[in-house]
Amino acid sequence: MIQLIKTSNYSSLIQDFLEHLFVERGLSNNTISSYKSDLEQFKEFLVSNKTILFTEVSQENISQFVKNFDYLDYKKATKSRKLATLKSFYAYLHNEYLIPSDPTQNFTLNSKFVRLPKIFEVSEVTILLDAPLKINTGHVAIRDHAILQIAYAAGLRVSEIINLSLGDVDFTSNSVRVFGKGSKERVIPIHDLAVDSLNDYVQKSRPLMVKSIKNKTFFSNQKGQRFSRQGIWKIVKKYSQHVGLVKGFTPHTLRHCFATHLLNGGAPLRHVQTLLGHSSIATTQIYTHLTKEFVRDEYDLSHPRSQKNI
């Protein structure tokens, strides 16, 4: 049974969400400031209404907040943006198991607010993965190379990367075990290049960073501690800038590329859903919109008048 996390700290929840937007979604500072402003406004609304907690908000509370937009004479675009903020915020809280259900799920947005993630070509990702060892051959570069490799090879979330422990990587079966959202366990196969980079790190770099045999943290900073989300983001930013992938490349971009490139290579959507740890196939389907090759292949295989089916 999944245990919900309870908190009454408005500021803490907002800050965690804003950090998620910055690190995992790669949004700009201006966009994040808009999210923050909208959430602060919503917080003030809740406080003025008997201080209802973020985690106790109902659909009725959302409806009342939205109705106030008319009294404030907001333009349609402003109304939609503020509602989009709430929907993103509560989707995050729900995905993090801070709330049992999403109170905004029945509120709809204009399609222009639906943003598809940016996907980079395989050749571009390959250049990024090779960057650390082309810049340096020291123990930090070996570690950074392993982090980038596993992020792309297994499509891991940032939180899954930083929470990896030594026993989670199986060098015999070439697989990695991760505990995703809601502590759901999944085992993901990884290719030989990724396994080699992980083994290289464990043998050569990790012993120089982690001094205690009791410390089972897989990826460690130079103080022997687990990374923060910001720490992983800085590594990806460093090498993406070095190879010229300046705009919009975040740790989560490697997860997006992992999914899209698998679909391009012919992997079934259901298999990709399992590898990503998505509870709903609808979440995975976003990647089918990112590749013309996938749509063409699905059409050719499915349509009765396609040349492949005649």
Supply the residues annotated as catalytic: 157, 181, 252, 255, 278, 287
Q: Which helix (H) or strand (E) holds 187?
A: strand 185-189
Instruction: Give the C-alpha separation, 32 to 39, whole Å.
Output: 11
Instruction: Give the C-alpha separation, 7 to 147, whole Å.
Output: 32
Instruction: Give the C-alpha separation, 32 to 17, whole Å.
Output: 10
Tell me the β-bridge partners of 177: 187
Number of H helices, E strands in the chain: 14, 3
Residue whose tokens read 């012993």: 207
Q: Which amino acid is at 42?
A: F
Instruction: Give the C-alpha separation, 236 to 157, whole Å.
Output: 13
How far lies 246's CA from each of 143, 256, 257, 261, in Å? Answer: 22, 17, 16, 20
Instruction: Give the C-alpha separation, 252 to 236, whole Å.
Output: 10
